Amino acid sequence: MPHRPSPIQTILGRLESALAALSSTTDGPAGRLVSITLATPELHLHRLPPLNGNWFYWGEPSRQRYLLGIGEARRLTATGEQRLRRLSDQFEQQRAAWHHVDPDESGFRATAFTGFAFDPDDPMRQNWSGLPNAAIFFPELLLHQTPDRCALTFSFCHGSRQRARLRSRHLLQELTDALLRDPQPHSDRNRISRTGTMPSDDEWLLQVSEATQQIRQGSLDKVVPFRRISVRAEHPLDPSRLMASLDDLYPSSLLFSIRLDGSTFAAATPERLISRKQRLISCDAIGGTIRRAQERGEDLQLGRQLLNDRKSRHEHALVVQGILASLKAHCADLSAPPHPTLKRLRKLQHLWTGINGELRGDATLLRIADDLHPTAAVSGFPSANAGRWLSDHQNAARGWYTGAAGWLDHQGDGELAVLLRCALLNGERAELFAGAGVTSESCPIAEFQETELKFGTMLEALEHA
């Protein structure tokens, strides 16, 4: 019987044909980014596979849409007050010269990942040291997965085809090996114990009390302090098992994970900062939180309680107001329903308003994000006053927690998610982050309990990691 080529050999053979076709058609300066997308029915991605090295991962479990990037063909970085505008300008320069071919007409676009910290001046020290303040990452190998299609995009610098061949073979072997090696769950749960809290519980309660007093005095309307807890697991925490657990437990959330230079960060967030599809944009406004209940009648009652809670409605209205004000300069048409609805998750329910608009100019996704971030949901309102309060109370240096991350494609479309319900992993240890919106009607104990509810999302998932 004739020998059947392996999936890797088949894909590499088709890549070689595409590279040969490029040799006679592609010109331009050395260093220009070139991407080749090939349909790969031989492969299927569902959840983050166990990988060595660096990766970038985006998942939408409810839509069964995933992106997985391995390696870096190029990285753009920026820091400081104008970081997102500078990143946007760098990306537009790259995009203008980015050559993408799709010989199989798969319909997938060449795509980069992006992420940034909450504070533009955060030095990203200690456990955050492996992650840049703000960056765009162009993966060498990108796997696109939708419910019925899969494709790979290979990216390299024009003029380095031989290196591209070698790297493609290496990364493709790594990927296919990982896809065959599904993460094996522990026989029992990975027991998690808390080892530290910062600030202390008493200090945080005092902060909330002081913030409430300042708000009543009229210096600001809302501020969002955060807490950080350190935990230790019985076994080393496996990112692939963690993301599989989050996929199962929180299918309506947006999943993001990155491993870079020794730092591993993961998030399962309910909040989309912004998405852009041609001239149409959409944002999530989330503010106001209450727990879920197992019994249906009690759960519905809790939802009604949240919808009718004056403090939560006020907090939510400030988020909507801030987003609309930020988008007004970019959109000819903005729409937001007059009343929020409930966004129900596994253990929490939030007040949610979807905001949509149509761009009037050619503003890029990152330039719009620069005006949007940080929203009142993660910083406060008015933004400048809330930012000063957070800085004065050592609440601004948060790393990527309450920053944003997502993807950008070579046509300028993309999506960013606010980085909430997240963890920074390091072997058996992890750091978790949670905040609460403080207004004039806040009760410190109630806000503390809200952060505990939010910690519960990642704590439950870590037990399966």
DSSP string for 81-113:
TTHHHHHHHHHHHHHHH-EEE-TT------EEE
Give the C-alpha separation, 379 to 407, whole Å.
Answer: 23
Give the C-alpha separation, 242 to 149, whole Å.
Answer: 25
> Rounded mean pLDDT of 10-18?
90
Domains annotated for the chain, with CATH where assigned, are 7-179 (no CATH), 195-462 (3.60.120.10)
Rounded to 10°, the helix 444-462/239-249 angle is 120
> Rounded mean pLDDT of 86-108?
96
> Rounded mean pLDDT of 18-31?
70
User: Residue 157: is its pLDDT beyond 90?
Assistant: no
Instruction: Please report the pLDDT score of residue 182 as a whole number.
Output: 63
CA angle 302, 386, 357 (to 5 degrees): 70
Instruction: Please report the pLDDT score of residue 395 as a whole number.
Output: 87
> Rounded mean pLDDT of 305-327?
96
User: Residue 39: is its pLDDT beyond 80?
Assistant: yes
**pTM, rounded to two decimals:** 0.95
Instruction: Please report the pLDDT score of residue 61 as a whole number.
Output: 95
Instruction: Please report the pLDDT score of residue 187 as a whole number.
Output: 61
Instruction: Please report the pLDDT score of residue 29 as a whole number.
Output: 65
Instruction: Please report the pLDDT score of residue 52 as a whole number.
Output: 87
More confident residue, 108 or 30: 108
CA distances to 11, 141, 176 from 70, in Å: 17, 5, 12
Token pair 């060449």 in the structure block, residue: 110
The per-residue pLDDT for range 220-275, each reduced to its tens digit, is 999 999 999 999 999 999 999 999 999 999 999 999 999 998 899 999 999 999 99
Give the C-alpha separation, 239 to 51, whole Å.
Answer: 9
Give the C-alpha separation, 51 to 149, whole Å.
Answer: 22
Mean per-residue pLDDT over the chain, rounded: 93
User: Residue 186: is its pLDDT beyond 80?
Assistant: no
Rounded percentage of the chain residues whose pLDDT exceeds 70: 96
Closest CA relative to residue 222, chosen from 388, 378, 392, 439: 439
More confident residue, 341 or 26: 341
Instruction: Please report the pLDDT score of residue 261 as a whole number.
Output: 86
Q: SS3 helix, strand, coil % of the chain, rounded to 5? A: 30, 30, 35
User: Residue 28: is its pLDDT beyond 70?
Assistant: no
User: Residue 321: is its pLDDT beyond 80?
Assistant: yes
> Rounded mean pLDDT of 283-306?
96
